[in-house]
């Protein structure tokens, strides 16, 4: 699986909250199956590669468990490219409703970045508390 395919897959899974981090869901397995179907279609459409849901699940599991460095690299690429991708894809909107959708996407992106930075700060504070507790 190429790096571009993996970036596309992780991007969709992250945006759709595949891991269920942002809330309890009534039917998580059904939800995950629908999200994975979306990934299969997107890879076929955007990258031109057909993969089964099982292949993609296994690849995601490998990324998270065995290839953590590459998974981090993919996340960094997504964080850096999100602003450029959103800007390129949505500059052609003209109607008011489309502009509202664009604004919502920008806010969602900003919120994701804030959450990531918040997690980093919390981790730093925990480390500081641990160090001070040892003194």
The DSSP code sequence of 47-116 is I-----HHHHHHHHHHHHHT-HHHHHHHHHHHHHHHHHHHHHHTTT--SHHHHHHHHHHHHHHHHHHHHH
Tell me what pLDDT residue 95 has.
64
> Is 114 a residue whose pLDDT tops 50?
yes
> Is 86 a residue whose pLDDT tops 50?
no
Tell me what pLDDT residue 77 has.
82
Query: What is the band of 19 on the pLDDT scale with cuts at 50, 70, 90?
Result: confident
120 three-state secondary structure = helix
Six token digits for residue 44: 């076929």
> Is 15 a residue whose pLDDT tops 70?
yes
> Is 80 a residue whose pLDDT tops 80?
no
> Is 111 a residue whose pLDDT tops 50?
yes
pLDDT over 90, % of the chain: 4
> Is 99 a residue whose pLDDT tops 80?
no
């Amino acid at each position: 699986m190429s790096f571009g395919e993996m970036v596309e897959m992780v991007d969709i899974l992250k945006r759709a909250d595949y891991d269920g981090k942002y809330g309890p869901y009534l039917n998580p397995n059904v939800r995950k199956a629908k999200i994975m179907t979306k990934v299969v279609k997107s890879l076929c459409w955007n990258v031109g590669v057909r993969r089964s849901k099982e292949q993609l699940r296994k690849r995601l599991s490998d990324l998270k468990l065995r290839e953590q460095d590459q998974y981090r690299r993919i996340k960094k690429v997504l964080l850096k490219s999100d602003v450029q991708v959103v800007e390129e894809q949505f500059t052609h909107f003209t109607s008011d409703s489309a502009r509202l959708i664009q604004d919502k996407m920008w806010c969602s992106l900003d919120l994701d970045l804030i959450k990531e930075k918040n997690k980093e700060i919390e981790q730093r504070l925990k480390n500081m508390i641990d160090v001070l507790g040892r003194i």
